[in-house]
């Protein structure tokens, strides 16, 4: 199978949180024999051992567009850390951004993809990976009709990306003005999101959850576990309540315990030490240095059934003892009380922390069971196989 993939970014320095996951997914596809050609929608083309990259045809225009968008948003009133106030569903600035992209950027992409598909007519399918689909309205149908090629869209941010959600202050609104029926099928990270996507016009909807590459997310040796409770993530948006319940309040009520966090815009964390970001390997070390690792999932994902995010799989692959906030569908991936601990309140969090910190054997067993589950069912090679099976239905 040969796939042409238009991906949101290939540059790990760009502020797109899903980029590491797309690297792992494409590595998994390569390992299963897929010939990959990847083009970034934003930023530079990055070559790898697992795919051949082609240049971003609108990099200069995209950079200018992003700068103007960021400047316009900087003039808007700033939302407070943790604020979950709804924003307009489709504001005047959103419509202006969309019109500019469709007028200035979409024609460049149309010519570029036409040239590639004409030059290399042996592609089996075209896959868009979390690019702003309303920037390219009309393009999927045009390419599908002209080249008799199935065109797929994979959204890794469902349900947070959907119009009925409030969206993040910094994010695109990608569905307003889009036509989902242009695509052969929609694929997302959310089991509960399938019906939502069909309601928005998708002809077919499938689920491929996140996972972890165990060659990347693996335990590392540390001198000692000198941290008791550790959390890494960015922002309080849509999880402020559970940050307070699982970090802020417990850190104040357990003064002897060593709480630590790595992230930005996390607000008041009580008696929690903020650790610096030095490298990915250091982040992995932080996880392995901690007796307990927290998975605090944002409300949008936690409230829609089986809406996967990267963090549970990454932590499990590193053999971490995970304590999580309530997360609808988490049992699809990990068995509660055996492979993950789920708490319902600050009081329960404190109780479970105290028990786990006093019982090394229990912590170790939970971490080992979680890693074994990832190796058995949740690697990105598993996810690549699932994606291949979906695409093959339409070839």
CA 191 to chain centre: 15
Element at 72 (helix H, strand E): helix 59-74
330 neighbors 210 (Cβ within 8 angstroms): no
CA distance 36 to 53: 8
CB 64 within 8 Å of CB 97: no
Look at residue 79 in the predicted model and tell me its pLDDT. 45
**pLDDT at position 67:** 60
Maximum Cα interatomic distance, the chain, rounded to a whole number of Å: 66
Give all domains of the chain, ordered by start, each with its CATH number: 2-211+380-392 (3.40.50.2000), 227-377 (3.40.50.2000)
pLDDT of residue 68: 58
What is the model's pLDDT at position 91? 66
pLDDT of amino acid 235: 87
Rg (CA), the chain: 21
Eight-class DSSP state of 52 = E
Give residue 66's pLDDT: 59
Which residues does the chain have with pLDDT short of 50? Answer: 78-88, 169-170
Q: How many helices (H) and strands (E) does the chain have?
A: 14, 13
Q: Alpha helix (H) ranges present in 128-248?
A: 139-147, 193-199, 240-243
Q: What pLDDT is stored for residue 101 in this prediction?
A: 76
What pLDDT digit, counting tens, does each position of 322-353 carry?
Answer: 999 999 999 999 999 999 999 999 999 999 99
Q: Indicate the angle between helix axes 346-357 and 360-377, nearest 10 degrees.
A: 100
Contact by Cβ (8 Å): 261, 230: yes
Task: Note the Cα 371 to chain centre separation in Å.
Answer: 20
């Amino acid at each position: 199978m040969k796939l042409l993939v238009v991906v949101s970014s290939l540059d790990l320095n760009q502020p797109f949180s899903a980029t590491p996951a797309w690297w792992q997914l494409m590595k998994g596809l390569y390992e299963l024999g897929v010939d990959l050609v990847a083009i970034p929608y934003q930023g530079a083309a990055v070559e790898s051992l697992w795919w051949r990259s082609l240049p971003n045809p609108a990099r200069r225009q995209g950079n200018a567009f992003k700068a103007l968008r960021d400047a316009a948003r900087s003039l808007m009133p700033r939302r407070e850390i943790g604020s979950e106030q709804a924003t307009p569903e489709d504001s005047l600035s959103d419509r202006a951004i969309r019109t500019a992209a469709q007028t200035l950027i979409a024609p460049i992409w149309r010519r570029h993809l036409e040239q590639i598909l004409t030059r290399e007519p042996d592609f089996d399918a075209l896959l868009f990976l979390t690019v702003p689909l309303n920037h390219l309205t009309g393009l999927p149908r045009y390419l599908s009709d002209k080249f008799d090629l199935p065109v797929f869209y994979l959204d890794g941010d469902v349900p947070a990306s959907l119009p009925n959600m409030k969206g993040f202050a910094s994010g695109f609104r990608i569905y307003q003005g889009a036509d989902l029926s242009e695509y052969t099928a929609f694929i997302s990270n959310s089991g509960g999101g399938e019906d939502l996507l069909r309601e928005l016009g998708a002809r077919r909807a499938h689920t491929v959850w996140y996972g972890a590459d165990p060659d990347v997310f693996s335990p590392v040796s540390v001198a000692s576990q000198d941290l008791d409770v550790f959390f890494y993530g960015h922002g309080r948006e849509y999880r402020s309540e559970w940050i307070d319940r699982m970090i802020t309040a417990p850190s104040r009520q357990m003064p002897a315990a060593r709480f630590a966090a790595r992230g930005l815009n996390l607000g008041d964390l009580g008696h929690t030490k903020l650790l610096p970001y030095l490298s990915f390997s250091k982040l992995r070390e932080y996880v392995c240095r901690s007796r307990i690792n927290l998975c605090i999932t944002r409300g949008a994902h936690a409230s829609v059934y089986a809406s996967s995010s990267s963090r549970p799989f990454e932590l499990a692959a590193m053999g971490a003892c995970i304590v999580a906030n309530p997360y609808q569908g988490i049992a699809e991936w990990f068995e509660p009380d055996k492979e993950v601990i789920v708490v319902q309140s600050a009081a329960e969090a404190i109780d479970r922390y105290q028990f786990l910190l006093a019982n090394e054997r229990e912590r170790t067993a939970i971490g080992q069971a979680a890693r074994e589950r990832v190796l058995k069912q949740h690697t990105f090679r598993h996810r690549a196989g699932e994606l291949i099976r979906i695409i093959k239905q339409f070839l």
